[in-house]
Amino acid sequence: MRRVAVIGAGMTRFGERWEEGMRELAVEAGVRALESAGVRGSQIQALYVGNMSGGRFIGQEHIGALAADYLGLNPIPSTRIEAACASGGLAFRQAYLSIAGGEFDLVVAGGIEKMTDVLTGQATTTLGGAADQEWETFFGATFPSIYALMARRHMHEYGTTEEQLAMVAVKNHDNGLKNPYAQFRKKITVEDVLNSSPVATPLKLLDCSPITDGAAAVVLASEEMARKITDDPVWINASAQASDTLALHSRSSFTSIPATRLAAEKAYQKAGIKPKDVDVAEVHDCFTIAEIMAVEDLGFVPKGEGGKAYEEGMFELGSDISVNTSGGLKACGHPVGATGIKQVAEVFWQLRGEAGERQIPDAEIGLTHNVGGSGATVVVHVLSRYPDLRQR
């Protein structure tokens, strides 16, 4: 299969975007991505769009066609991908496969979600569609409650503390402060997190990612096309996806997400790297416990040592592995269909040295980790400055 590069990225400010509907957000992110790549819309050959629940949030399905229409990209193929909160990461993966396999040379992968324009409670109910409707959501389980089970068990098995969970949120808010696209640009303290309202004990309000409107888009190109367009491509060294049971109760452990381990192992193997080679990672911190499990399951620290790592300042901006430099889902915001694409955009900017105030030094290898539901879908990508990491 062929090498594929990312050559441009754009996103909207994430947040409560009362003045814009889904189509306006799609256009804002898409046009910025095209401008970033230095290509015209007429050069684009296909569009893949990640969106979780346009049908329930705003009564609109057929999001691929909508995005192509309003971006003026007709009549190229446009395809919506859905895998709950991993929708964006899977849209990126399908775009990658379509170029690597030889069907297209220049493709846009986007992600979008318009979540705030709903009645109280309806967003959480809609997000429940990512879990098992018959065996979890129907009986009242919400995502905070599902991740609270994981947090409680992680605390029981490994001694992880609520303070350690809080440190994840504090770090991500520190990073979000430096990101002009972030929903929350506000410093918080461990005390702020611990004193925030309980949502599903032990998770409190500031342990949870927010409800967000937003869109993000990236431009992918075949090696030949990328070299024609830019001197500064970011290469996709690996793309890997794994599935697991839809319901948490069907798993053998609550403290690990096996699909993360499987996808990561495959991605490291394809890219020819070890976890410690990663310089910058955008991981799926829908809740603070999710980031702690992610850094463990991705192999950045041994299982059970995630909590302690945050006390030691690991994963902060500029450390050996900078995690969630964008602010993560927690501070940058979590428009579910857009998150996986935003992760790629952030890593793209870090690897190009275009991350502004939050730029880390000498970023060479980046990773994105996007989770759907409580871990039924996971997709991991490795990106870098090198077309082949085995030859660096």
Q: Could you give the residue numbers annotated as active site?
A: 85, 334
Cβ 6 to its own copies shortest distance, Å: 18
Nearer CB in complex with its own copies: 97/149: 97
Instruction: Indicate the residue type of 26.
Output: A
Residue 224 interacts with its own copies (CB under 8 A): yes or no: no
Q: Does 68 bind its own copies (CB under 8 A)?
A: yes
Burial string for 142-181 (b: 16+ CB within 10 Å, else e) reads bbbbbbbbbbbebbeebebebebbbbbbbbbbbbbbbbeb
How far is 294 from 317, CA to CA, in rounded Å? 17
Query: Please, what is the minimum distance in Å from the beta carbon of residue 367 to its own copies?
Result: 18
- Tokens standing for residue 193: 């997190």
Residues in the chain: 392
Spatial separation of the C-alpha atoms in residues 250 and 222, rounded to whole Å: 40
# binding residues, its own copies (CB under 8 A)? 64
130 vs 23: CA distance, rounded Å? 23
Identify residues 45-64 at the interface with its own copies (CB under 8 A): 52-56, 58-64
Kindly state the tokens that stand for 378. Answer: 């996971």
Binding mask 167-206 for its own copies (x = CB under 8 A): ----------------------------------------
Nearer to its own copies, 125 or 195 (CB): 125
314 in Cβ contact with 152 (< 8 Å):
no
Q: Which is nearer to its own copies, 89 or 328 (CB)?
A: 89
Name the segment binding its own copies (CB under 8 A); options: 37-45, 131-139, 147-155, 213-221.
131-139
Among 43, 79, 124, 196, interactor with its own copies by CB under 8 A: 79
> Contact between 98 and its own copies (CB under 8 A)?
yes
CB of 150 to its own copies, least distance (A): 17
Question: What are the C-alpha distances in Å from 245 to residues 228, 294, 349, 376, 377?
Answer: 43, 18, 34, 5, 9
111 neighbors 342 (Cβ within 8 angstroms): yes
| Contact pick of 20, 41, 45, 97 for its own copies (by CB under 8 A) | 97
Other CB atoms closer than 10 Å to residue 123's CB: what's the count?
20
Q: How far is the CB of 82 from its own copies (least distance, A)?
A: 5
Q: How far is the CB of 135 from its own copies (least distance, A)?
A: 10
Instruction: For residues 133 and 66, give the distance between their C-alpha atoms in angstroms, rounded to a whole number.
Output: 27
What is the distance of C-alpha 234 from the center of its chain? 17
Contact call for residue 131 and its own copies (CB under 8 A): yes
Q: Which of 110, 286, 151, 141 is nearest to 209 (CA)?
A: 286
Least distance between its own copies and beta carbon 263 (Å): 9
| CB proximity list for 69: less than 8 A, separation 6 or greater | none
Whether 286 and 329 have beta carbons less than 8 Å apart is answered as yes
Q: Which is nearer to its own copies, 74 or 253 (CB)?
A: 74
* Residue 380 within binding range of its own copies, rule CB under 8 A: no
Q: Are 361 and 355 in contact (CB under 8 A)?
A: no
| Calpha distance 252→236 (Å, rounded) | 33
Choose between 138 and 320: whose C-beta lies nearer to its own copies. 138
Q: Could you tell me which stretch among 35-43, 73-81, 184-192, 298-306 binds its own copies (CB under 8 A)?
A: 73-81
CA 390 to chain centre: 26
What is the nearest approach in angstroms of its own copies to the Cβ of residue 358? Answer: 31
Region from 89-97, 157-165, 289-297, 356-364 binding its own copies, contact rule CB under 8 A: 89-97
* H or E segment and range at residue 217: strand 214-222
Interface with its own copies, residue 88, by CB under 8 A: no
**From residue 2 to residue 21, what is the string marking binding to its own copies with x (rule CB under 8 A)?**
-------------------x
Closest CB to its own copies among 29 and 99?
Answer: 99
Does position 118 interact with its own copies (CB under 8 A)? The reply is no
CB 123, CB 31: distance < 8 Å: no
Residue from the set 164, 241, 255, 326 that interacts with its own copies by CB under 8 A: 241
What are the residues binding its own copies (CB under 8 A)? 1, 21, 23, 52-56, 58-66, 68-69, 73-84, 90, 94, 97-98, 100-103, 126, 128-134, 137-138, 241-247, 250, 258-259, 262, 372-373, 376-377
